[in-house]
Chains A and B, each alone.
Chain A
């Protein structure tokens, strides 16, 4: 496992040497054990950086925010920005580079391998072991294939797989492929069997498969999804947390439409509103299907949308469904390479055709 001290030294050196203008990472949050994202610009701040199983956030989001802020400045930045990146974060950064949203030389990627572990799912913690109250915890740490949770008076050692985020269990490659420096090792080497990707701890798409087995008819799936869509309150948290939702004007959210002093009343009135902001079933379906399609071939399954949803809508199902179809039918793997053409701007002669008359 990566020693957080190693990480701090690396960040400190980068900042001191002036190689990067800032480093995006994690520090201890205000809520006991849980880490929170942070952007540090001074080398003294490097000591605040942490690396533990609560580093769930996809930091690529903060790269997007940095790019947004820079958008109003003129010219490219003088120096790259440093960013800590787990396997999934790095894949998200690759997609951003593939789409030319950020350039390779604007980013300094400090790759972090989750090795044979992953991130903690806070929701699985409740009831995971006798006496654990997430409120009382002060730290969580990696220890081989376990997580060690400590409160003021007590310690628990839980098998990581039992409380690990679902997306981490399904992760094919916890080690970033694109990086400038890498901390930690390629994981589970003994299991690699000469394959390019590491076998995941559970089947990739395991959750999707479970869903499809239980809801195996059109009626059952509609029964499930209509109830889920009815519960959505359209808080847009899932979109706000998504590093791929960087559109300046989001077509599902009319208040994001850019209005300048020059925008005429007529222009405002004529703006096409495909989907209203109201949380009605139909608009919610419009919202979620639009997002699933906008993320097809781009979503790298960091699972952040599902984590932040206040009403626990299983959003990963929609995204992994699109991902699995893209893999199986089009041989497309999101976030694998900066050079390949994007899923929907390319095609193959032998794409599925039998559904067309």
Chain B
């Protein structure tokens, strides 16, 4: 077997989705039967502001090839300002990951409302397309349990 690993490799994405918007958005993409890659494992969180940097680091350390955090558009947060706080905090996470030499494409944030099923599908499609050429993430990864 001499297949090119880049063609067989399927990026694994961990997606932290706010339950008030992006998680519902992903449902909408599903019930609307929009086709998009099945590479993302969704984890529903109460708010993008509740995503600890530790979740992101741990996802990478457990072997995620990409991590997505998706929350409500600014002004739409169920808790009023959770997404503003997330934006600041996760900006620093992103900067730090790039600073130590992780490819910037591997961490991503998006604002996706409950009505934006098509946008959710697009975000995942783009993410997978950007991750594919990078190959597996093995920088932060520890031994697999």
- Which B residues are CB-close (under 8 A) to A343? 88
Of the stretches A99-107, A111-119, A139-147, A278-286, the one at the interface is A278-286
- Which A residues are CB-close (under 8 A) to B101? 218-226
Could you tell me the distance between the alpha carbons of A351 and B143 in the complex, rounded to whole angstroms?
Answer: 37
Highest count of chain A CB atoms <10 Å: which of B91, B108, B109: B91
Of the stretches A25-33, A50-58, A288-296, the one at the interface is A288-296
Q: Contacts A293-B93, A293-B96: A356 and B87 contacting too (C-beta < 8 A)?
A: yes
Q: For the complex, would chain B's binding face be called helix, strand, loop or mixed by DSSP majority?
A: helix
Bitwise, A115-154 to B at CB < 8 A (1) or not (0) is 0000000000000000000000000000000000000000
Could you tell me the distance between the alpha carbons of A293 and B103 in the complex, rounded to whole angstroms?
Answer: 19
Name the residue on A nearest B140 (C-beta).
A285
Indicate if B98 sits at the interface (CB-CB under 8 A).
Answer: yes
Highest count of chain A CB atoms <10 Å: which of B57, B96, B100, B109: B100
B65-101 contacts to A (CB < 8 Å): 74, 81, 84-85, 87-89, 91-101
Indicate if A344 sits at the interface (CB-CB under 8 A).
Answer: yes
Could you tell me the distance between the alpha carbons of A356 and B73 in the complex, rounded to whole angstroms?
Answer: 10
A321: contacting residue among B85, B94, B96, CB under 8 A: B96
Q: Contacts A280-B142, A347-B88, A357-B108: A218 and B103 contacting too (C-beta < 8 A)?
A: yes
Indicate if B7 sits at the interface (CB-CB under 8 A).
Answer: no
Name the residue on B nearest A219 (C-beta).
B101
Q: Contacts A251-B54, A290-B54, A355-B91: A345 and B85 contacting too (C-beta < 8 A)?
A: yes
- Which B residues are CB-close (under 8 A) to A257? none
Could you tell me the distance between the alpha carbons of A220 and B53 in the complex, rounded to whole angstroms?
Answer: 24
- Which B residues are CB-close (under 8 A) to A274? 54, 57-58
Q: Are B89 and A344 in contact (CB under 8 A)?
A: yes
Bitwise, B115-145 to A at CB < 8 A (1) or not (0) is 0000000010010000000000001111100
Name the residue on A nearest B71 (C-beta).
A356
Chain A interface residue count, Cβ-Cβ cutoff 8 angstroms = 41
- Which A residues are CB-close (under 8 A) to B97? 289
- Which A residues are CB-close (under 8 A) to B103? 218
Could you tell me the distance between the alpha carbons of A345 and B49 in the complex, rounded to whole angstroms?
Answer: 11
Could you tell me the distance between the alpha carbons of A247 and B97 in the complex, rounded to whole angstroms?
Answer: 24
Cβ distance A305 to chain B, nearest Cβ, rounded Å: 16
For this complex, 18 residue pairs linking A to B, each with C-beta atoms less than 8 Å apart, are: A218-B102, A221-B99, A221-B100, A222-B100, A224-B101, A225-B101, A226-B139, A274-B58, A281-B142, A282-B140, A289-B97, A293-B53, A318-B99, A321-B96, A346-B88, A347-B87, A352-B91, A357-B109
Other A-B pairs, 12, CB within 8 Å; known A218-B102, A218-B104: A218-B101, A222-B101, A274-B54, A282-B142, A296-B92, A344-B89, A347-B85, A351-B87, A353-B74, A356-B87, A357-B109, A357-B126
Give the B-binding residues of A (Cβ under 8 A): 218-226, 229, 251, 274, 280-283, 285-286, 289-290, 292-293, 296, 318, 321-322, 325-326, 329-330, 343-347, 351-353, 355-357
